[in-house]
Chain A
Amino acid sequence: MFGLSPGDWTAVALSLRIALVATACALPFGIAVGWLLARKQFWGKTLVDGLVFLPLVLPPVVTGYLLLISFGRRGPIGEFLYDSFGMVLSFRWTGAALSCGVMGFPLMVRPIRQALEAIDKRLEDAAATLGANAVLVFFTVTLPLALPGVIAGVLLCFARALGEFGATITFVSNIPGKTQTISAAIYTLTQVPGGDAAAGRLVLVAIALALAALIASEWLARRAAIRFHGE
């Protein structure tokens, strides 16, 4: 279909799986960190803020390298994960999901944080007087009101994860069928003579996926707006 080889399709499917898993796993952390940064004052807040946004400003290769030396089999975290759970991240698609999640994380946190900051806290007070404890207030008032920001954060993270290249290739390499994403496959094709046509087809797929993600998020955001303001 579309002139893509089975290998190309594997890369497309792998990219989607990696981006979806990365976004889904990042979401609870993104909401938690966005909430902390929006609502809480604590010692070291500036540092946390900086750490979260570091992947946005660091060269992706540096982020990938830092992941490799900490989550690689001999890295402190990687060794712990392998010894405790038999879990290996380096040179696996799960590792690609980790690097994509880390790279997308700052883009996810920012709109969530902004949405949480914009919420009228007096609505939360009202919920408390109606008998809702702090956890219920968060899940029935705060989070639904922040939904447009959460949708925006999910889209940005997903798009970033789908296109991630530098950190991923540094951390998990470019193994066809295992860690080769669309971006890595395009890169490989551009390095071989006569790969232009195949690369072009993958480029079209990448554009189509990006557009689909955009349209989906627009649709979700519009539905959220309707819920807030009536038809």
Chain B
Amino acid sequence: MIVLAVDVEKQLGALHLGVSFQAARGATALFGPSGAGKTSVVNMIAGLLNPDRGAITLDDTVLFDASQGVNVPPHRRRIGYVFQEGRLFPHLSVRQNLDYGRRMSGQPRDLAEFERIAKLLDIGHLLDRRPGKMSGGERQRVAVGRALLTRPRLLLLDEPLASLGVAHKREILPYLVRLRDEVGIPIVYVSHTPAEVRRIATTVLRLDNGRVAATGGIELLNAADEDAFV
């Protein structure tokens, strides 16, 4: 079943981004070199960047349609977004960071769900700390939890491991695999690292120079792309 349908165009400096794809449940990887337009695509899905032309549909909701003038603002899209740098709020504790989405949308407190996610990501012992003094891996796990606790319809992960050292990458990958298998929210995963994509993705979209160059399974990651870690 198709969950997400994207068909957008945008001129970004010298790069003409023209991307069209559909994603089903599971984890769809946007894979390709730096500058291929991967982050721009997820920013458009989240509503942080407006396409020049085209449409984006999630489940039965039109999030963006240039021809009909539809553009749902980011705060009403219910899309969880885990950024490359985590972007935790430095002035809030981990607990307040995790609780932020619920507070902003005025939903009732759901302690069971909170504890389930804290356990899934193993962040229960961090709740009273501030993000400033945590390791990159801890921060990224909290960022994933913060996005999940908004009960999103779709989870965007933009190079969530790129800012981490090898040890922390190894630390987080299993959590992301668990996320895919246990939480059941469709995932769009941006990466330029084949080893990561191989672990996470159920579908791979290879992006090159603003275009979808190929679509398929992880067999798209040929041996030449192989790199050192994992």
A contacts, CB < 8 Å to B: 120, 122-123, 125-133, 136, 140-141, 144-145, 147, 227-230
Interface contact A123-B87, CB-CB below 8 Å:
yes
Interface residue from A129, A140, A229 paired with B130 (Cβ < 8 Å)? A229
Q: In chain B, what residue has the closest Cβ to A128?
A: B74
A144 and B75 in contact, given A127-B104, A131-B105 (Cβ under 8 angstroms): no
Complex Cα–Cα for A230 and B93 (A): 9
Q: Which residues of chain A are within 8 angstroms of B87 by Cβ–Cβ distance?
A: 120, 122-123, 125-126
Bound CA span A126–B147, Å: 9
A129 touching B80 in the complex, CB below 8 Å, given contacts A122-B87, A140-B104, A228-B90: yes
A136→B76 CA distance, assembly (Å): 13
Cβ–Cβ < 8 Å partners of A125 in chain B: 48, 74, 87
Q: How far is the CA of A159 from the CA of B48 in the complex (A)?
A: 42
Q: Which residue from B75, B80, B81, B146 sits with its C-beta under 8 Å from A132?
A: B75
- Is there an interface contact between B129 and A129, defined as CB atoms closer than 8 Å? no
Contact A130 B104 (CB under 8 A): yes
Take A131-B105, A229-B130 as given contacts and tell me if A126 and B91 are in contact as well, using a CB distance cutoff of 8 Å: no
- Please list the residues of chain B having a beta carbon within 8 angstroms of any beta carbon in chain A: 46-48, 73-81, 83, 85, 87, 89-91, 100-101, 104-105, 129-130, 132-133, 146-147, 150
Report the tally of A-B residue pairs with Cβ distances under 8 A: 73
- CB-CB under 8 A from B77, the residues of chain A are 129
CB < 8 Å neighbour of A228 from B78, B79, B132: B132
19 contacts between A and B (CB under 8 A): A120-B87, A125-B48, A125-B74, A126-B81, A126-B87, A127-B104, A128-B47, A128-B48, A128-B75, A129-B46, A129-B75, A130-B147, A131-B76, A131-B101, A131-B104, A133-B73, A140-B100, A140-B104, A228-B130
Q: Do B104 and A230 touch (CB < 8 A)?
A: no
Q: Which residue of A lies closest to B49 (CB)?
A: A125
Provide the bound-state CA to CA distance between A231 and B147, in Å. Answer: 26
Docked CA distance A129–B77 (Å):
8
The 8 A-B pairs of least Cβ separation, nearest first, read A130-B101, A126-B87, A132-B104, A128-B74, A129-B81, A131-B105, A230-B130, A131-B104
